[in-house]
């Protein structure tokens, strides 16, 4: 028993050290980006008409006149203390801004991932079982379109058809203007996710309006996720369907649905967890174009507007949050490995 506790303590210490080193590397990358990006944070603060004395005073206040190693140490200290700087665009702390916009991105990416998983996994299984047949070709063609079409073009075409011509969905933004006032005044904002908060408050008219707005951007991102997940599921399943245990199960007369959906699919859970986690992380950081097209007030749109405004603190803060999301999702996938695969425990 003491040996087991010792091994677990070492494993936990190794995990913490790995996470700390990864996060430190993330901070180093963002720090370097902040120094090489062609944006002068001092000029963005004082303006082009500032005198040399004002410029130098602001530069000294930001600590940019110190050695780079000292600047990095101060940067790490501030980030660990929760200080990501102050946004020039909003004049508020960057962490406060991100806490306000990130729930919108999280809600959008979560629904898109659910669409990708619930449709992509069954489609990948069917394509593997029907390899070379019409169903396989159709699913692979659908996935190819998902990879080939730019997401901003797909979003624009979706708005033109389903909003502009047919009127089936809501337009840009998370809510219509009238419902936005109702949401701001009457709905307690517990999570920041409109669908969750309105459901908790019982504001079903606002919920329905929010649903009409999120269905198209989530569908666009979900299609991209579906293409990736279905292709990877097909590859994993093809490998499993060639294994001897599958042949043995079929020879013994086991029903085909059980061979495919229980045994073969069960053995691809571990790599599928990685694929889904990576897809989710990519949607969290890769929704910039989608949020821009749909005027979705999330992290992607926030970073884009900050970049165009020369708001370096906001850009670096958003980058840190996205990188931290990748780290946490990788950690979560490692923990899920241990739940679904006893060999990794």
Do both 273 and 233 map to the same domain?
A: yes
Task: Looking at the structure, tell me whether residues 172 and 272 fall in a common domain.
Answer: yes
Looking at the fold, whether 176 and 295 belong to one and the same domain comes out as yes
Question: Which CATH number do you get for residue 128?
Answer: 1.10.3720.10
Q: Are residues 297 and 228 in the same domain?
A: yes
- The whole-number pLDDT of residue 110 equals 92
Where among 24, 45, 80 does a domain terminate?
A: 80
Residue 85 lies in a domain: no
CA 171/CA 215 separation, integer angstroms:
10
Q: For a pLDDT cut of 70, what percent of the chain falls above it?
A: 94
Q: What percent of the chain has pLDDT over 90?
A: 21
In this predicted structure, the answer to whether residue 344 has a pLDDT above a threshold of 80 is: no
* Mean pLDDT score across all residues of the chain: 85
- Alpha-carbon span 256 to 126, nearest angstrom: 12
User: In this structure, is residue 89 part of a structural domain?
Assistant: no
Q: What is the mean pLDDT of residues 111-133?
A: 92
Given this model, what pLDDT does residue 74 score? 86
pLDDT of residue 1: 53
Residues 295 and 215 in one domain: yes
Secondary structure tally for the chain: helices H, strands E: 17, 0
Place of tokens 């969750």: 196
- Residue 213, both tokens: 């707005």
Report if residue 87 sits inside a domain.
no
Q: Which range, of 223-232, 253-262, 280-289, 297-306, averages the lowest pLDDT?
A: 280-289
Do 339 and 294 have their domain in common? yes
**Residue 330 lies inside a defined structural domain of this protein:** yes
- 56 and 145 in one domain? no
Domain holding 22, by residue range, is: 2-80
Q: Quickly state the pLDDT bin for 2 (edges 50, 70, 90).
A: low
CA 243 to chain centroid, in Å, comes to 34
What is the pLDDT at residue 33? 80
Residues 55 and 111 in one domain: no
Say if CB 328 and CB 336 are below 8 A apart.
no
Exposure on the CB side of residue 51, measured as CA atoms within 13 A:
3
pLDDT of 345 over the 60 cut: no
Query: How many other β-carbons are positioned within 10 Å of the β-carbon of residue 189?
Result: 15
* pLDDT score of 274: 85
Residues 309-338, mean pLDDT to the nearest whole number: 83
| Residue tagged 């396989």 (tokens) | 136
Residues 69 and 104 in one domain: no
- Nearest C-alpha neighbor of 15 from the set 322, 342, 340, 335: 335
Mean pLDDT, to the nearest integer, of 318-331? 86
**pLDDT tens column, 195-246:** 999 999 888 999 999 999 999 999 999 998 999 999 999 999 999 988 888 8
Domain total of the chain: 2
Q: What secondary structure, in 3-state letters, does 152-206 show?
A: HHHHHHHHHHHHHHCCCCCCCCCCCHHHHHHHHHHCCCCCCCHHHHHHHHCCHHH
Higher pLDDT, 145 or 55: 145
One domain, residues 176 and 307: yes
Last residue of a domain, one of 48, 80, 112: 80
For residue 239, with 0-12 CB atoms within 10 Å meaning exposed, 13-18 middle and 19 or more buried, which class applies?
middle
Q: pLDDT: is 3 or 124 the higher one?
A: 124
Q: Are residues 12 and 144 in the same domain?
A: no
Lowest mean pLDDT among 9-18, 97-106, 119-128, 243-252: 9-18
Q: Is residue 90 part of a domain?
A: no
Does any domain span residue 318? yes
Model confidence at 250, pLDDT cuts 50, 70, 90, reads: confident
């Amino acid at each position: 028993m003491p040996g087991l506790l010792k091994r677990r303590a070492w494993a936990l210490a190794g995990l913490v050290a790995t996470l700390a080193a990864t996060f430190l590397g993330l901070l180093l990358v963002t720090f370097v980006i902040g120094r090489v990006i062609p944006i002068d944070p001092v000029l963005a603060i004082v303006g082009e008409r500032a005198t040399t004395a004002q410029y130098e005073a602001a530069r000294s206040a930001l600590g940019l006149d110190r050695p780079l190693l000292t600047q990095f140490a101060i940067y790490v200290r501030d980030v660990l203390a929760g200080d990501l700087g102050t946004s020039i665009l909003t004049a508020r702390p960057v962490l406060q801004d991100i806490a306000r916009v990130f729930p919108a991105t999280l809600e959008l990416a979560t629904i898109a991932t659910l669409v990708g998983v619930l449709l992509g996994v069954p489609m990948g299984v069917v394509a593997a079982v029907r390899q070379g047949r019409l169903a396989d070709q159709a699913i692979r063609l659908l996935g190819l379109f998902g990879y080939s079409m730019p997401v901003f073009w797909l979003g624009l075409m979706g708005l033109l058809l389903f909003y502009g011509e047919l009127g089936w969905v809501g337009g840009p933004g998370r809510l219509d203007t009238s419902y936005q006032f109702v949401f701001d005044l009457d709905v307690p904002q517990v999570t920041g996710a409109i669908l969750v908060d309105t459901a908790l408050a019982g504001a079903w008219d606002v919920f329905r309006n929010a649903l009409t707005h999120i269905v198209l951007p989530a569908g666009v991102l979900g299609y991209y996720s579906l293409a990736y997940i279905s292709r990877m599921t097909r590859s994993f399943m093809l490998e499993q369907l060639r294994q001897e245990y599958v042949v043995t199960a079929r020879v013994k007369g086991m029903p085909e649905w059980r061979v495919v959906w229980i045994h073969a699919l069960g053995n691809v859970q571990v790599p599928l967890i990685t694929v889904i986690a990576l897809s989710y992380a990519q949607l969290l950081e890769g929704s910039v174009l989608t949020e821009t097209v749909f005027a979705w007030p999330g992290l992607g749109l926030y970073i884009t507007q900050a970049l165009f405004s020369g708001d370096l603190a906001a850009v670096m803060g958003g980058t840190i949050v996205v990188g931290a999301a990748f780290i946490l999702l990788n950690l979560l996938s490692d923990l899920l490995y241990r739940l679904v695969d006893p060999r990794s425990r």
